[in-house]
Amino acid sequence: MNRAFYIGRFQPYHLGHHAVIKKIVKEVDEIVVGIGSAQQSHTVSDPFTAGERVMMVSRSLEELGIIYYVIPIADVDRHAIWVSHVRSLTPPFNIVYSNNPLVIDLFSETNIQTKRSPLFQRGIYSGTEIRRRMLADEAWEDLVPKAVAEVIKEIDGVRRLKDLSRTDVPSSATVF
């Protein structure tokens, strides 16, 4: 039995992430997906809550016909204990897929098998690019699974991002 772990911030979950997971599930029996930086939401770079990201990932994975677990994981302020923190929250896993150098380093140091996941069209399948398009009223729906576009519409996510982009830049006349 091989159970994989894959973590991302998924702000939002997009077709690059989905392509990686489709590849992983061909190699393992089950997958644990960590929703990283779970404590973050309502900022321009992290607009969606952990719960909203759980919906995005869970609904997208339904089509893959594999057993999966989607677990929110808040950050901790010491990298040295992060792997233990992750393991305390997740079902046990024996292989980690990632392209994030810090994630790979931290797991490698604890002797868990790690595999570099491939990148798919990083230039456009990127949370930064998707959020930019949302703010610029450009088409973004074709960069995410259909289920993610539906969740973002349900929660009025583009309006939230636009509101945040306005409040993130306080005018000189605003005194808090």
Interacting residues toward ligand NAD by CB under 6 A: 7-10, 16-17, 20, 36-37, 75-76, 79, 82, 98-100, 102-103, 106, 117, 119-122, 125-127
Q: 128 vs 172, which CB is nearer to ligand NAD? A: 128
Output the DSSP codes for 130-176.
HHHHHHTT---GGGS-HHHHHHHHHTTHHHHHHHHHHHTS--TT---
Q: Are 89 and 35 in contact (CB under 8 A)?
A: no
Give, for 107, the enclosing helix (H) or strand (E).
helix 101-109
Closest distance between ligand NAD and the C-beta of residue 72, in Å? 10
Q: How far is the CB of 170 from ligand NAD (least distance, A)?
A: 26
Minimum CB separation of residue 127 from ligand NAD in Å reads 6
- Residue 21 or 164: the one with the smaller Cβ distance to ligand NAD is 21
Q: Which is nearer to ligand NAD, 1 or 78 (CB)?
A: 78
Query: Smallest gap, in angstroms, from Cβ of residue 103 to ligand NAD?
Result: 5
The one-character DSSP state at 64 is G
Sole residue written with tokens 């960069």: 143
What distance lies between CA 122 and its chain's CA centroid? 14
Pair 143, 15: CB distance under 8 Å: yes
In the bound state with ligand NAD, the residue whose beta carbon lies nearer, of 8 and 47, is 8
